[in-house]
Amino acid sequence: MSSDVLTAGPSASLRGRQRYLPVMVTAGLLVAMFTVGGLRYEAFASGQVVLNVFIDNAFLLVVAVGMTFVILTGGIDLSVGAVVALSTMVTATLMTDHGWSPLAVVPLVLLIGSALGLVMGCMIHYFDIQPFIVTLAGMFLARGLCYVIGTDSISITEEGYTAVAQTQIALPGEMYVSVSVVIALAVVLVAAYMLHYTRLGRNVYAIGGSEQSALLMGLPVARTKIAVYTISGFCSALGGVLFSLYTLSGYGLNALGMELDAIAAVVIGGTLLTGGSGYLLGTVLGVLVLGLIQTIISFEGTLSSWWTKIFIGLLLFVFILLQRLISARRS
């Protein structure tokens, strides 16, 4: 047996471990933050605190799932926050001002978000325009449509919708979650299955690794890229529905900067910005890290909420450097 064969196994195993390293670092950071919080603050180390992080960030988790698909292909979607705001405005306007049923409004909102993502995906691929420019235009379009609908906050008073928003699903130990958390976790499970057990998922990773190689292998690059941005649009619209359940209102200034939070969660979760490597579990952990930072700051009481952005920025620097080091070792 040649020495090349003997060394192939260990080197492949090392590359496999390196692939999981960012996710393991994020998980370790989450455990460390929770441990420090539990030692420093009374009543912090409880299951309900973790569940509250999920409750407060269910909409961000859904948006980050869509962003994960996009970033895995090496793209970016700056429109997600504006689509969330547009979804809340459409939901609130149709139900409050026009008396529509939620059963009609929610599918319409999801269709609008998916259609916008589909259009952006087509423009990115067929016109060979940078995703940054196309999704920036989509952001301005969606945010502008919010102000066309209305400039004031619109409260949602529809009885069935408010009942769903206020429903608490009981768990053992006198803990609970909201309906939004159940929906968000269902989205994560479906998305994880799509990424790891379907042809679409394999194509997403292949395009992120090298779009030119994917073309040479005969993979459906056009269909996959369009599907990815459509999924992101759908997740943004669904995130908007969950945001409206969380706030019971629609407002054109909702979700300002949420696209940056979603990107931060995906990167902190270990997905490479250049595409081709990453896991949805990492995205979930990234969202939890962002939520736990906010929780620690609120428990501290003396810190401004702007410290959340400072800590997120520092973490992004660390994880971008970590990604660079891992990529350098692989090459």
Say yes or no: domain 22-330 is CATH 1.10.3470: yes
For residue range 128-143, list pLDDT tens digits in order: 999 999 999 999 999 9
Q: Where are the domains of the chain?
A: 22-330
pTM above 0.85, yes or no: yes
| pLDDT value of position 219 | 92
Q: Please indicate whether residue 37 or residue 18 has the higher confidence score (pLDDT).
A: 37
| pLDDT value of position 1 | 42
| Per-residue confidence band for 117, with pLDDT thresholds at 50, 70 and 90 | very high
Closest by Cα among 153, 157, 155 to 253? 153
Q: Please indicate whether residue 320 or residue 133 has the higher confidence score (pLDDT).
A: 133
| pLDDT value of position 54 | 95
Q: What is the mean pLDDT of residues 174-181?
A: 95
Q: What is the mean pLDDT of residues 272-281?
A: 89
| pLDDT value of position 5 | 40
Q: What is the mean pLDDT of residues 46-75?
A: 95
Pair of tokens at residue 214: 């994917």
